[in-house]
Structure 1
Amino acid sequence: MLELPRPRKSKKQSNRTDRYRAWAEINLSHLKHNVEELKRRLPKDCRIMAVVKANAYGHGSVPIAQKLQSIGINSYAVAEVSEGIALRKAGIQGEILILGFTSPWQFADLCRYDLTQTVLNADYAMTLNQYGKKIKVHVKIDTGMGRLGENVDQVERILSIYRQPHLIVTGTYSHFSVPDSDLKEDIAFTNEQINRFYRLVHVIQSNGFDTGRLHLQSSYGILHYPHLRCDMARPGIALYGAIDVVKDNDESSVSLLPVLSLRARVIMVKRVPAGSSIGYGRLYRTTQDSIIATVSIGYADGIPRCLFEQGGHVLVKGQRVAIAGNICMDQMMIDVTHVEHVEEGDIVTLIGQDGDCRITAEEVAVRCHTIPNEWLTGIGSRVDRVYVN
């Protein structure tokens, strides 16, 4: 018969950082390392524009931007105006580019907080210009992504953007759609995006207009097309080390470190007999007398419910343990039968290192048929962010 571990004494618990129910450890030294690695891969005169949208991919936009500013980064990209305002109010200096749509009723904030707006197309440029005050902008060109930007073939419409008297163009850019693919047809498509962009840049400049700083590469663009003639590159997920990196065995290879680890605590341990069902739907059944631990994190904190169905694991005391049953809103259960002396208060690692074992954001994303970007940005506001060096 399995014995249930004795509860810890409160004095012992007080020696640990048990103030957190669930928390993400953000390693700022790893962030600095990743910036240096990406810079090393790029041409020396190519600057980093750090993408810190969506709360810096779940890492905390203000602390991340503050760290980046302290190591010399002075360009940032966010999705919308409120994200830019939050950075300005936190004292972040330099250029802050709004990548998405800004409503005309927010144009005053662009000026008030010295934010740079993306021009989505020629019609949007006219709307911005009609505001009647000088607004800094980057012009977005659609070279094949099919999302935002004036189509690269619409040369006259694009030139009309640069003629708007109240728009101060400080940059021109585009976005790749398949820079991570090694398929021959996708590589050809990306190269055509590159060629289309530079042909257009030549036309714009030949007409006497200043394109400002040019930028094309996001994270995978930096990894797979590092030597483009650009003034800036826009790493997002690569900054946070949650990306498959290039393994090319030469001096241009890059080694990125994960910035975020996600942890929670065991809040209850119980012994159950063989044949017991665990969780909603009774989908997990014990095949032997077992020890089940309940953990203080759930899908409201961003843990994908499908993780159980896809055979997901967590780490406890340096060992992989199976998720036991459907993940609940605020808790999840794990089967710790084979782990010795699991007790209330023990740390459970969902992303990160524990002893010799490691679970990466990429592993969880692949298991759940998604990408690390979605998984990390879904980590909820109830999860405390703890910044460490």
Structure 2
Amino acid sequence: MTESVRSVAMDVDLSALRHNLAVVRELSGDREVIASIKANAYGFGAVGVSRALVDAGVRKLWTGNVDEAIALRDAGIDAEILLFGGIEPQQVADVLRHDFQPTIFDEVGLDMLAEAGMAAGRRVPVWVKVDAGLGRFGVALGGAADFVEQVALRDGIDLRGVYSHLPFGSADGANWARERSARFNAVIDELGARGVAIPTTQLWGSSGVLAGLPDASSAVCVGHALFGLSPLEAGVGVHSELRPLIRSLSAPILQVGGSGVEGGGYGAGGNGLAATLGIGLADGIAKAKHGEAEVIIGGRRVPVRGFTLEYLMVDASDAASAEPFDAALIIGTAGDASVTLDDWAKWTGVSPLEVMMALSDRMPVRYVDG
């Protein structure tokens, strides 16, 4: 986003990112950690996060589309950039120009990239996605070994790896993923028996790593866990060792006082001291559906009474010392008062990741360290 003159900002803690990377590395043993920074690094800012990860020794970044990948190159990031999903014909030139590593899963993609590689007098680095059961992209298990062998032998193509994705959140999901992983591993074993060299194999993401599932692959690809977001239910896998990346999300108090917090058509209303904050739905702050959302003013949690496009109306009766242009914490800690990403997930009825992804690109991100 362009530089903002609003005093709304989200402070992201890069030391927490490095801590979470260290946790993932410890859990992954000697496997390479590939960082998933798709969707603007899960809302934390792909460029800033990628720089920190590369500085910490991450060599491969996996992103969701070509536009995001180009933005990383334009920012001077020279790590290997892998592309989830398929690419379109008009994107091939950029893939070659920036040395991206796209995913293929059918002969359409294989032919398109092989022809481009031969025309350019080079081999295009590619990864093959195997659909081990999720149903989102990938060559079917039954034909995977034949297809990967075809890719490995194709002129104009440089096979860099074979991967799959088996996300889950529950103990039952872990059992499903364990069974499907055996089928993926059987494909890799079959390719080994045929003498097909695969530089990198990757199966588990955050779910498998945090749940400690057995892994025969040479790499893991992790997103959630790097950002302090566990996809697992309570009681499944590792949670407590991860640290949240959001140090704070703050917004200014624009007015204190007025005619009371009636709320009108925008919220529940109330009779206390009104305060209006300079942040709203357009910034990705969702309306509470379960219980009453709260923010922190003057070291105290106070209830949100109304949500509008640009503003939140709160009852500041318990923070009577609040003055215009003081900062209110939408997420953060002040003294004994704390509001977390998990709190907003509970109030809005979605996951913490969905709360993050709802934050709009109007939200400036500031990186802090330590």
TM over 0.5: yes
In structure 2, the partner of 1:136 is 125
TM-score using structure 2 length: 0.90
Which residue is 1:201 aligned to? 188
- Asked if the contact 1:42–1:226 (Cα under 8 Å) also holds between the matched residues in 2, the reply is no
| Whole-Å separation in 2 of the counterparts to 1:104 and 1:333 | 48
For structure 2, the residue ranges without an aligned partner over 5 or more in a row are none
- Is the contact made by 2:83 and 2:102 (CA closer than 8 Å) also made in structure 1? yes
SS at the partner of 2:319?
A: coil
Distance 1:244 1:189, change over 3 A: closer
Q: Distance in 2 between matches of 1:132 and 1:241?
A: 39
Does the alignment pair 1:54 with 2:39?
Answer: yes
Q: Assess if the C-alpha contact under 8 Å between 1:245 and 1:256 holds in 2.
A: no
1:247-289, CA deviations, whole angstroms, 9 ceiling, x for partnerless residues? 8899x8761111123211111111435xx6224x164232x4x
Aligned partner (choices 156, 163, 166) of residue 153 of structure 2: 163
For residues 291-336 of structure 1, what are the alpha-carbon distances to aligned partners after superposition, in whole Å with 9 as ceiling and x for unaligned? Answer: 11111111111111x32664222222222211112x1111111111
Question: How much is the aligned-residue C-alpha RMSD, in angstroms?
Answer: 2.4
Is the counterpart of residue 351 in structure 1 residue 324 in structure 2?
Answer: no
| 2:341–2:352 Cα contact (<8 Å) kept | yes
- Contact residue 7 and residue 251 of structure 2 kept, 8 A: yes
Give the equivalent residue in structure 2 for 1:368. Answer: 348
Q: 1:127 to 1:225 in 2, by over 3 A?
A: farther
Correspondence for 1:285: 269
Conserved? CA contact 2:170–2:233, under 8 Å: no
| Match runs of 1:14-29 below 5 Å | 20-29=6-15
Contact 1:66 1:92 survives alignment (8 Å): yes
Instruction: Give the secondary-structure state (helix, strand or coil) at the position aligned to 1:265.
Output: strand
Does residue 307 in structure 1 map to residue 288 in structure 2?
yes
Equivalent residues of 2:27, 2:212 under 8 A apart: no
Scaled by the length of structure 1, the TM-score of the pair is 0.86
Find the residue that maps to 2:349 and give its secondary structure: coil
Cα deviation digits, residues 149-191 of structure 1 (max 9, x gap): 001112434433333222211111000132x2112xx232111
With over 3 angstroms needed to count, the CA separation of the structure-2 counterparts of 1:122 and 1:195, relative to structure 1, is farther
Q: Are the counterparts in 2 of residues 122 and 158 from structure 1 also a CA contact under 8 Å?
A: no
The whole-number CA distance in structure 2 between the counterparts of 1:150 and 1:249 is: 30
The answer on whether the counterparts of 2:167 and 2:207 sit within 8 Å (CA) in structure 1 is no
Match 2:225 to one of 238, 255, 259:
238
User: Which has the higher mean CA deviation after the structures are superposed, 158-167 or 189-198?
Assistant: 158-167
Aligned counterparts of 1:269 and 1:309: Cα–Cα separation in 2: 26
Contact 1:79/1:99 (<8 A) preserved: yes
CA deviation after TM superposition for structure 1 residue 93, in Å:
2.1
Q: Partner letter of residue 285 of structure 1?
A: G
How many residue pairs match? The answer is 360
Q: Kindly indicate whether the alpha-carbon contact (under 8 Å) linking 2:294 and 2:304 is maintained by their aligned counterparts in 1.
A: yes
- Cα 1:206–1:247, aligned 2, differ >3 Å: closer, same or farther? same
> Which residue in the other structure is 1:145 paired with?
134
1:18-59 CA-partner distances (Å, limit 9, x unpaired): 96431110111111111111111111x211111111111111
Residues 284 and 369 (structure 1 numbering): CA distance in 2 closer, same or farther, change over 3 Å? closer
Q: Which moved more, 1:106-115 or 1:223-232?
A: 223-232
Cα gap change, 1:317 to 1:387, in 2 (>3 Å): same
Structure 2 equivalent of residue 36 of structure 1: 22
8 Å contact from structure 1 (residues 139, 171) kept in 2: yes
- Which one of the candidate residues 26, 49, 69 is aligned to 1:64? 49
Structure 1 runs (4+) greater than 4 angstroms displaced: 244-250
Greater mean alpha carbon deviation, residues 96-105 or residues 240-249: 240-249
The 5 A counterparts of 1:179-190 are 180-183=169-172, 186-190=173-177
- Alignment deviations for residues 123-144 of structure 1 (CA, whole Å, 9 cap, x no partner): 3222222324421111100000
Question: Is the 8 Å Cα contact of residues 290 and 346 (structure 2) preserved in structure 1?
Answer: no
Say if 1:41 and 1:254, in contact at 8 Å, map to a contact too. no
Query: Match of 1:318?
Result: 299
Bigger mean CA offset, 157-166 vs 104-113: 157-166
| Partner AA of 1:258 in structure 2 | P
Q: Which residue of 2 aligns with 1:175?
A: 165
Matches of 2:236 and 2:177, distance apart in 1: 23
Following superposition, the deviation at residue 70 of structure 1 comes to: 1.2
Conserved? CA contact 1:41–1:253, under 8 Å: no
Distance 1:56 1:187, change over 3 A: closer
Q: 1:23 to 1:219 in 2, by over 3 A?
A: same
Percent identity over paired residues: 28
1:59-89 per-residue CA deviation (whole Å, 9 max, x = no partner) reads 1111111111111111101001121111122
In structure 2, distance between residues paired with 1:209 and 1:109: 29
Q: 1:246 to 1:221 in 2, by over 3 A?
A: same
User: How far apart are 1:192 and its partner, in Å?
Assistant: 1.3
Q: Measure the CA separation in 2 of the matches of 1:355 and 1:24.
A: 19
Q: Is the 8 A contact 1:22 1:265 kept in 2?
A: yes
